[in-house]
Chain A
Amino acid sequence: MAEVVRREAVYALTAIIVVIMMVDFFFTIPAISAIAGELRTWATIISTMALTLGAVNIIRVHSRNVRRRAPGVWYHSAWLIFIFAFVLLLGFTDINNPSSNPVYKWIFDNAYVSLGQTWYAITGFYIASAAYRAFRARNIDAALLLIAGIFVMLMNAPIGEVIWVQIPRIGRWFNDVGQVPAMRTFLIVAAFGLLAFGFRTLLGRERGFYGEVAGG
C-alpha cells in the first residue's frame, strides 16, 4: 500500500512540475516564474548531488575488482582508485577553485583533456570503417547513398576540385539541399514524439522509467 502511495505521489509531483514549467514557458506570471526558477535550481542541485552516487558506484565496482583480483582488470581498477583519491585530495586543497592547484590543473589539461581528444580523433577511423559498410551498393538505395557519399567526400577533399571543378558544387547541393529536408523531417517528428512522451508522463502513463516493468 505504502509503495503504491509512494509511486502515485511521484506521478502527481511530476505532473505538477511539468505544468508549472509549461506555464512558465508560455506566460509571463511572476509568481510562476519564481517557482520555475527555484525548480531549475533544485534540478541543478539534485543533478550535482547525483555525482556522489556516481562516485560511490565507481568505488564499489573497482574496489570489488581489486578485492577479487579480476584477471586483466584489477590493476587498472587499483590505478583508477588511486588517481580518484589523489585528484579528490588535490581538489580539496582549494575547494573554491580546485583548478588553481597547478598539479590538479596539469593532470586535467595533460591527461584527461589529451586522452579525451585522442579518442575523438580516433573516431575518424571508425567513421571510415562504418562508411565502408554503409557504402556497399547492395540495392538501389545503397547505390544512391554511395553516389551522394562520394560527392560529399570529394567535396571535402582537395582532390575533388582537381578531378572536376563541379564536384564541390554537387557535394554542397547534397549537403545543403539534399539532406537538410530529410533531417528536418526527423526533427519535426521527433518533436511530436517528445511531446507525446511528455504528455504520457504528465498523465503518469509512461511508467517504465519509474522502475515499473513495461510489458515483458
Chain B
Amino acid sequence: MIVAGRQTAFVFLIVTIALFYIFLEMARRGRKIPIRTFPAIAAIPEAIGRCAEMGKPLLYTSGYAMETLSNPDQGPQTLASISILSHVARLAVRAGVKLYYFTCIKDSLPLVEETLRTAYLEEGKPEEFDPLQINYQAGQSPYLNAVMGFMQRERPASNILMGGFYYESVVMGEAGNTIGAMQIAGTANTHQMPFLIATCDYCLIAEELYAASADITKDPWILGCLRGEDIMKLVILVLLIVGFVISFARVPILIDILKR
C-alpha cells in the first residue's frame, strides 16, 4: 500500500505532524512558548525608517525561484517571502514609503497584488496603491537587469531580498552595497546563503525564512509548530549521533530502517 522506500518517511511525517499538533494545542491553551527575535525581522522597521528619512523608495524582491510557485523547493520560499512582504508593506504604507516589488515569478503576481492592496487598505490609504509598483520580468537575467537598473536609477535606501535566490543574489547584494542601501535578506537555498550573508546587513538563514511569520505575528499556532520543529531537530540529532557511533561497529540496522 505504502510506496516502497517511503515507509520510514511516512512515520516521520506522522510523528512530526503529531508533535506540531500537540504543541500548538498547548500554545492555544496559554502555555508560553518563547521565541528568539530574528535580528533580520527586527531590523525591518529601521530599514523602512531609513527610506522615510531619506525620501527614497524601498525595494523588495523574492528572487528567481525557478520562476514558478509550483517548484517544490522554491515555491514555499516565495510564499514565505510574500508573508513577510505583507508585514513590510504595512509598515511602509504607515511610514509613507513607496515600496517597489520586483519578480519573475509569474504565478505569484495575483498574490503579491492582493497582499499590497490589502496592506494599503488596512492602513487606510487604498487610493495610494498603484498596481505598477509591482514589476514583472520574464526570465532570470531580464529580472536581474530590471532590479539593477532600478537600483542605479532610483537609489533605494533599503533593499529586502527574501525568497528562493540563485546567482542573482550576489549581484543584487553587491549592487545594493555599491549604492549604500541597508540590506535585509533571507533564503533557504544553501548555495546562495554565503553570498547573502557576505553582502547584506541582516540575513534569515534556512528555516528562519519559514519561521519569520512566527516572530511577526506571535500567533500561538505558529509558535506551537516551531516548538514541534525543534523537538524533531533534536530527534534527528540523536539519530545522527547514534548512526555515527554504530557505524564504527558496522551495524547497518539504522540505515536499513531509514531506507525502508
Q: Annotate B193-218 by CB proximity to A: 1 below 8 A, 0 otherwise.
A: 11101110000011111110100111
B124-173 residues with Cβ-Cβ distance < 8 A to A are 131-132, 134-141, 144-145, 153, 167, 170-171, 173
Residues of B within 8 A of A210 (CB): 111, 114
In the assembly, what is the distance between CA of A29 and CA of B213, in Å? 35
In the assembly, what is the distance between CA of A200 and CA of B153, in Å? 40
Additional A-B contact list (6), CB under 8 Å, known A28-B3, A213-B119: A51-B106, A119-B171, A190-B188, A192-B232, A196-B20, A197-B210
Q: A27 to chain B: closest CB distance in Å? A: 6
Contact B86 A120, beta carbon cutoff 8 Å: no
Contact A192 B86, beta carbon cutoff 8 Å: no
Footprint of A on B, CB under 8 Å?
1-3, 6, 9-10, 13, 16-17, 20, 68-70, 76, 79-80, 82-87, 89-91, 94, 106-107, 109-111, 114-115, 117-119, 122, 131-132, 134-141, 144-145, 153, 167, 170-171, 173-175, 177, 188, 190, 193-195, 197-199, 205-211, 213, 216-219, 221-222, 225-226, 228-229, 232-233, 236
Residues of B within 8 A of A186 (CB): 188, 190, 193, 205-206
Contact A57 B70, beta carbon cutoff 8 Å: no
Contact A206 B188, beta carbon cutoff 8 Å: no
Q: A31 to chain B: closest CB distance in Å? A: 14
- Return the contact of A57 from the options B17, B134, B226 (Cβ within 8 A): B134
With A54-B106, A190-B190, A193-B211 as given contacts, are A115 and B141 in contact (CB-CB < 8 Å)? yes
Residues of B within 8 A of A169 (CB): none
Contact B110 A193, beta carbon cutoff 8 Å: no
Contact B225 A190, beta carbon cutoff 8 Å: no
Q: A80 to chain B: closest CB distance in Å? A: 9
Chain A residue nearest in CB terms to B216: A215
Of the listed stretches A94-102, A127-135, A159-167, A170-178, chain B binds: A127-135
In the assembly, what is the distance between CA of A216 and CA of B45, in Å? 10
Q: A152 to chain B: closest CB distance in Å? A: 12
Q: Annotate A23-58 by CB proximity to B: 1 below 8 A, 0 otherwise.
A: 001111000000000000001101100110110011
In the assembly, what is the distance between CA of A205 and CA of B213, in Å? 10
In the assembly, what is the distance between CA of A26 and CA of B236, in Å? 21
With A130-B195, A199-B17 as given contacts, are A208 and B213 in contact (CB-CB < 8 Å)? yes
Chain A residue nearest in CB terms to B167: A123
Contact A208 B82, beta carbon cutoff 8 Å: yes
Task: Let me know if A60 is at the binding interface, CB within 8 A.
Answer: yes
- Return the contact of A27 from the options B1, B86, B173, B177 (Cβ within 8 A): B1
Q: Annotate A174-216 by CB proximity to B: 1 below 8 A, 0 otherwise.
A: 0000000001001111101111111111010111111111111
Contact A190 B207, beta carbon cutoff 8 Å: yes
Residues of B within 8 A of A123 (CB): 167, 170-171
Task: Let me know if A5 is at the binding interface, CB within 8 A.
Answer: no
Q: B48 to chain A: closest CB distance in Å? A: 12
Chain A residue nearest in CB terms to B205: A186
Contact B83 A116, beta carbon cutoff 8 Å: no
Q: A146 to chain B: closest CB distance in Å? A: 12
- Return the contact of A206 from the options B83, B109, B131, B206 (Cβ within 8 A): B83
